[in-house]
Structure 1
Amino acid sequence: MSDVAFRSAVEQLRALASGEVSSQGLVELYLERIATHNTALNAVITVDAERARREARAADAARAAGQDLGPLHGVPITVKDSFETAGMHTVCGRRDLRDHVPEQDAEAVKRLRSAGAVIMGKSNMPPGNQDVQADNPVFGPSSNPWDTTRTSGGSAGGGAVATAAGLAAFDFGSEIGGSTRIPSHYTGLYGHKSTWRSIPLIGHVPNGPGAGRWTEADMACGGAQVRDARDLVPILQATVGTADYDDGFSYTLAPPRATRLADFRVAVWSEDPSCPVDSDVAGAVDDVLTVLRSAGAKVVVQPAGLPADIATNQQAFLPLVYGAFTYDRTGLTPAPNAALLARLVQNPRGDAGPALRGTFQSHYQWLKAHTMRNELRQRWFEFFQDFDIVLMPVAPTAAPAHHNKLIDRFGRSYEVEGVRRPYWDQVKWNAVANISGSPATTIPVRRGRSGLPIGLQAMGPGGGDLTTIEFAALLGREVEGFVPPPAFR
């Protein structure tokens, strides 16, 4: 059964349909693995075993009666702790929500349940989604299953660990600047950021319960972390669609633009002076270039017509992301405020300055960034008339070591080829898709010098989720793909 724990969700769905396994059997397997391994990983911070067992029994009974509950019928999953779950703690890494138990599901959670998913528990994250690691004052940090001295990334780091270590079939999460893609890169998974607004985020609670559940943060998207790219298809089938209220927006999944690597038109963007990458990431790019060229794909490296460089993209991204975060002001307490001001004095050109300006910006300042975002989105729309995929790094390195600076967020750094770089560089390559609103899917390509996973991401046209997923699935067959962490087999 240990092999079953690491099967893709699609393979598990086939096994459930054939009667090889039952939903009850899968739930017991994952509950046992959580009991065995979660102490070392701290990935799953809330478990509702009895409810999961009841739902699994109901899923098995429905299948025996010939009823189809949906595309995720009977699959046991975890959900990022930023989504409301009725009757189950939703803490979002915040001390003020330590005892919060919602009375209703978030819209995406409701859709997952309606599609037959069995939600076993909640996965760890930073307070209010606002960090690049999964660590918070309520539950502590999640550790990377490839090396527990390393971070899992964030914000959906706990879910990535649970999926990579075989504690759940997959984790459903969210992101605003790489929160699904960064942890997937660090733990060797396929991670997906959906097209902006394709999955309603009603009940996604970084902004708090009550009226806050209706605040869908700018640029925030639903997503998931999986062991096989094609697992993302039933997840999107279950969750994509117009919200119940009528705001004039509708979304449907478009078919993939190509179904063979040879037929994809790929722009490879792997270098930018604002965010250099190390030799492991560069090596992964070289590996993929070899595969694509051998397959006969149209490949253009560093195309001249890219709509923006990293520095230009950041000019739009930083005001918008800090604007999105300002609704939740629970983190603006004396200790982090003092640390922010201290870092601003020490390094006026560092990351503390944009954070302070963005948190207290005027509406006019926000509108300037929004206008720039709209212009960049149009440029990307035009760019994707000639290309299907932009292949780029996820982060500059493999997973860095844990940082224990929950308060001093702008006092961190890490090294890229021996050169100290700002900790928040980890977000920069990801922010491109958050500004464009495009879907993006990570692909585990190889392991680096330290033995840690190295991934790349495929960004596609707005609405082209199935295009990036199909590309990731096809490419994943030709590179290393997902490998279970040896210590947790």
Structure 2
Amino acid sequence: MTDLTRLTAAETAAAVASGEASAVDVAQAHLDRIGAVDEKVHAFLHVDTEGALDAARAVDERRAKGEKLGPLAGVPLALKDIFTTKGIPTTVGSKILEGWIPPYDATVTKRLKDAGIVILGKTNMDEFAMGSSTENSAYGPTGNPWDLTRIPGGSGGGSSAALASYQAPLAIGTDTGGSIRQPAAVTGTVGVKPTYGGVSRYGMVAFSSSLDQGGPCARTVLDAALLHEAIAGYDPLDSTSIDAPVPSVVEAARNGNVQGMRIGVVKEFGGEGYQAGVMQRFNESVELLRELGAEIVEISCPSFKLALPAYYLIAPSEASSNLARFDAMRYGLRVGDDGTKSAEEVTALTREAGFGDEVKRRIILGTYALSSGYYDAYYGSAQKVRTLITRDFEAAFGTVDVLVSPTTPTTAFPIGERVDDPMAMYLADLCTIPSNLAGNAAMSVPCGLAPEDGLPVGLQIIAPAMADDRLYRVGAAVEAALTGRWGHPLLEEAPAL
């Protein structure tokens, strides 16, 4: 049989269901791959070898009994270390939760297990999902499998790197300002931010509660759709969960067709600051969509230019509130508790030792923006901009079915290049942030390699809230057309590790 680590998730599930391969063999193949390459990539923070093999054996036992298996039963997955997972560590990439073992599963974790998906372990990430490069992890950076000296995106760089290095066929990420889509773009993989509220946030450690959204990461659009359906749906444990049927994303992914669709090109996403090769591949993708039968319309969304500053007031403000729970009194790290210090002193010492520089920067910024005398000028004004951005989307979707843009202004930049320049780092999310502020759905699919550096470029597709199926319809059409032109998936061109 073909190398089990090179199969798509759909192919793996079919092999397990037919008995062509056992779930244990599939899991072991991926664990062996992790053992062979992850020392170089550093995609994982924790590998749950015993738990993965036990879960795989359970799938094989169910198949032997003739039980009907789910569409992804026996398929391995890499889980971003922001979802609580009973019995194994959840660190959120931070020293402040080092060694913490959750007593319960997040809803996403539970749904993965219920679907028979085999969780291989927890992936590296920017601390508390604050970053665009995975360099803010307290446990060291992750490398991009295309070039290990480059970043794999962030905050979910561990998940995207695990996919691109064939350590897992599926992964879960979270997207607060682009942390699923941006890593997908720079690693040549597929990443989807579902409609806000479409996937439960229960058990997902909070960064910015009105923006955070978990979602699927994969190597193909169909695999992402299958995972999307496995984790999505109403959850009474999450007050922001949408009580409505999950859009038919798998059907859309199987029948990708843009004939007759109106696709809007966002005027504001281009020009100065965008890498020439990124714009070249994006423009080629737009022409491809035209060739496939879509009508292309230029759309102006002027408020999008204000998205970045609005985001960097709203997200830190919510973070300053959410991270107040890490006080050394209830769980996690505790520093200075020698009996001579007050609770306030212990909390201060713990936060100083446990939080990294970027987390501290955002807490301070958010606390300032929410402080008396500044709330209306900063946080209040940012929320007004958020409303304007939402209205721009509503106006655009009154004219077109979906919007498209580059996912990121540049390809993967070198590790260390922007670490001392927060503003340059924040610009990596320039194209992705508006969808988080509005709560609609968005996807990144590979659209080629930039000619300057041979690194992947992502095409972003944006759909209205609860129209996630449109993402998969367009993404599948683009993927099929480009794979046909290249003669193979884009990842086939990645250098061997």
Q: Shift of residue 57 of structure 1?
A: 0.6
1:270, 1:120 → 2: CA distance? 42
Q: Shift of residue 63 of structure 1?
A: 1.6
> Does 2:382 correspond to 1:390?
no
1:148, 1:197 → 2: CA distance? 35
1:53 matched residue in structure 2: 53
Q: 1:360 to 1:336 in 2, by over 3 A?
A: farther
Q: 1:17 to 1:338 in 2, by over 3 A?
A: closer
2:306, 2:64 → 1: CA distance? 56
Secondary structure in 1 matching 2:199 = coil
1:238, 1:280 → 2: CA distance? 36
2:466, 2:217 → 1: CA distance? 19
CA deviation vs aligned residue, 1:303-329 (integer Å, no higher than 9, x gap): 2xx343432223432222112221215
Q: 1:41 to 1:98 in 2, by over 3 A?
A: same
1:359, 1:274 → 2: CA distance? 34
Q: 1:42 to 1:247 in 2, by over 3 A?
A: closer
> Any runs of at least 4 consecutive aligned residues in structure 1 with deviations exceeding 6 A, and if so which?
334-341, 351-356
Q: Shift of residue 227 of structure 1?
A: 0.5
CA deviation vs aligned residue, 1:64-87 (integer Å, no higher than 9, x gap): 222234332111111000111101
Q: Shift of residue 265 of structure 1?
A: 1.1
1:15 matched residue in structure 2: 15
2:119 matched residue in structure 1: 119
Secondary structure in 2 matching 1:102 = coil
> Does 2:212 correspond to 1:232?
no
Letter matched to residue 323 of structure 2: D
> Does 2:464 correspond to 1:456?
no
2:311 matched residue in structure 1: 317
Q: Does structure 2 retain, via aligned residues, the 8 Å contact 1:106–1:203? A: yes
Q: Does structure 2 retain, via aligned residues, the 8 Å contact 1:128–1:328? A: no
Q: 1:404 to 1:204 in 2, by over 3 A?
A: farther
Q: 1:428 to 1:353 in 2, by over 3 A?
A: farther
1:251 matched residue in structure 2: 244
2:272, 2:310 → 1: CA distance? 16
1:430 matched residue in structure 2: 432
Q: 1:184 to 1:62 in 2, by over 3 A?
A: same
2:358, 2:158 → 1: CA distance? 26
2:278, 2:467 → 1: CA distance? 25
1:217, 1:356 → 2: CA distance? 16
Letter matched to residue 426 of structure 1: A
Secondary structure in 1 matching 2:323 = coil
2:329 matched residue in structure 1: none
Q: 1:292 to 1:95 in 2, by over 3 A?
A: same
Deviates most, 281-290 or 150-159: 281-290
CA deviation vs aligned residue, 1:441-467 (integer Å, no higher than 9, x gap): 111011112111111110111111111
2:323 matched residue in structure 1: 328
Q: Shift of residue 433 of structure 1?
A: 0.8
1:246, 1:184 → 2: CA distance? 27
* Equivalence map 1:83-482=2 (5 Å): 83-136=83-136, 138-206=138-206, 217-245=209-237, 247=239, 249-255=242-248, 259-269=256-266, 271-272=268-269, 276-301=273-298, 303=299, 306-326=300-320, 327-328=322-323, 333=352, 357-358=368-369, 363-364=375-376, 365-403=378-416, 408=420, 411-412=421-422, 422-448=424-450, 449-480=452-483, 481-482=489-490
Percent identity between matched residues is 27
TM-score by length of 1: 0.86
Q: Shift of residue 42 of structure 1?
A: 0.3
1:98, 1:324 → 2: CA distance? 23
Q: Does structure 2 retain, via aligned residues, the 8 Å contact 1:271–1:277? A: no
Secondary structure in 1 matching 2:445 = strand
Q: Does structure 2 retain, via aligned residues, the 8 Å contact 1:71–1:237? A: no
Query: What is the number of residues matched between the two proteins?
Result: 459
CA deviation vs aligned residue, 1:171-228 (integer Å, no higher than 9, x gap): 1111100101111111000111111011111111256xxxxxxxx7121101122110
Q: Shift of residue 366 of structure 1?
A: 3.0
Letter matched to residue 247 of structure 2: A
Letter matched to residue 325 of structure 1: A
Letter matched to residue 473 of structure 2: E
Alignment root-mean-square deviation, CA: 3.0
Secondary structure in 2 matching 1:178 = coil
Letter matched to residue 300 of structure 1: V
1:65, 1:168 → 2: CA distance? 27
1:114, 1:363 → 2: CA distance? 44
Q: Shift of residue 232 of structure 1?
A: 1.8
Secondary structure in 1 matching 2:432 = helix
1:284, 1:169 → 2: CA distance? 25
1:487 matched residue in structure 2: 495
1:371, 1:114 → 2: CA distance? 41
Q: Which runs of 5+ in 2 are unaligned?
A: 327-349, 484-488
